């Protein structure tokens, strides 16, 4: 039985290690978290309510939180993804001390929620302006999201970062259906990189992702991939971003 108490311990362990290696000049103090959670079907409705309460309260009450997204896998309805951003590691630590986080942790501790240990990946955001200190807006359109894990070979690190930053810049500045392209380096595993992207358009936002895949900057990335740059294959999760239900929104006001 997976308990969120162990999840909380893992949170603290990773935060303690958050700055265990020196940040590169292109790395900001912004801290991000990608999570992959496999939720038992009989717990899904209750879990969505509890994570929704945590999400609403985090967005509303924590000035150090910039973003908190929840999404459901496009092919496996039991898999959910999170993406959270904080102004720094101290803001995340403050998040873990809040009443709403305690409520969520208590719920998971008392129920057999997860089919396997949650995957929690912390990273320092790269390639963003230090001006990113305000909360990201919450969209109203159906949104297609993806989280990606990449493992480039150490010897091609600089070339990897150059093509990634060019891909990000092209996505941010030339794609009207692209909402977000965030990436950074793991806080615990040097040379491991995590990504979060969001797109809108038809087919629950997949139109935007398909358009992204037809761009010149994405083609440059695909050319780079043909050079055998990874020590292990990329891992990608596609999902539909979901907002809390109306009943959860009402409960958060009580």
CB atoms within 10 A of CB 163: 19
pLDDT of residue 75: 98
- What pLDDT is recorded for position 132? 59
Nearest in space to 200 (alpha carbons), one of 187, 192, 209, 190: 209
Contact assessment for residue 240 and residue 143, using Cβ atoms and an 8 Å cutoff: yes
CA–CA gap between residue 34 and residue 122 (Å, rounded): 7
Q: What pLDDT is recorded for position 228? A: 98
Alpha helices, H only, 72-205: 89-95, 99-110, 157-174
| Average pLDDT by stretches of 10, the chain with 254 residues | 42 46 56 98 98 98 96 98 96 97 96 96 89 68 97 98 97 97 97 98 98 98 98 98 94 87
pLDDT, residue 24, reads 46
Domains of the chain: 4-253 (3.30.70.100)
Q: What is residue 29's predicted lDDT score, i.e. its pLDDT?
A: 87
Alpha helices, H only, 62-156: 89-95, 99-110
- Residue 130 is predicted with a pLDDT of 60
Q: What is the rounded distance in angstroms from the CA atom of residue 14 to the CA atom of residue 67?
A: 19
Q: How many Cβ atoms sit within 10 Å of the Cβ of residue 73?
A: 16
Pairwise CA distance, residues 33 & 213, whole Å: 25
Q: Please, what sign has the CA dihedral across residues 170, 172, 174, 178?
A: positive
Q: What is the pLDDT of residue 137?
A: 73
């Amino acid at each position: 039985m997976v308990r969120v108490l162990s999840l909380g311990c893992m949170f603290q362990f990773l935060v303690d290690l958050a700055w265990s290696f020196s940040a590169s000049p292109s790395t900001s103090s912004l801290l991000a978290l990608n999570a992959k959670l496999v939720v038992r079907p009989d717990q899904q409705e209750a879990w969505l309510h509890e994570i929704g309460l945590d999400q609403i309260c985090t967005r509303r009450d924590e000035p150090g939180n910039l973003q908190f997204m929840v999404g459901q896998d496009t092919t496996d309805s039991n898999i959910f993804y999170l993406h959270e951003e904080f102004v720094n590691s101290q803001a995340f630590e403050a998040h873990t001390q809040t009443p709403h986080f305690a409520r969520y942790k208590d719920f998971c501790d008392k129920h057999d929620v997860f089919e396997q240990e949650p995957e929690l990946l912390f990273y320092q955001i790269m390639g963003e302006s230090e001006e990113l200190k305000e909360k990201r807006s919450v969209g109203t359109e159906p949104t297609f999201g993806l989280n990606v894990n990449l493992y480039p070979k150490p010897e091609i690190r600089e070339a990897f970062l150059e093509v990634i930053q060019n891909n990000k810049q092209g996505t941010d500045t030339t794609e009207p259906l692209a909402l977000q392209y965030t990436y950074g380096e793991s806080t615990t595993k040097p040379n491991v990189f995590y990504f979060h992207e969001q797109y809108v358009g038809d087919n629950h936002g997949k139109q935007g992702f398909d358009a992204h895949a037809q761009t010149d900057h994405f083609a440059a990335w695909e050319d780079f991939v043909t050079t055998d740059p990874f020590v292990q294959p990329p891992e990608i999760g596609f999902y539909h971003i979901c907002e809390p239900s109306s009943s959860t929104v009402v409960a958060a006001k009580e």
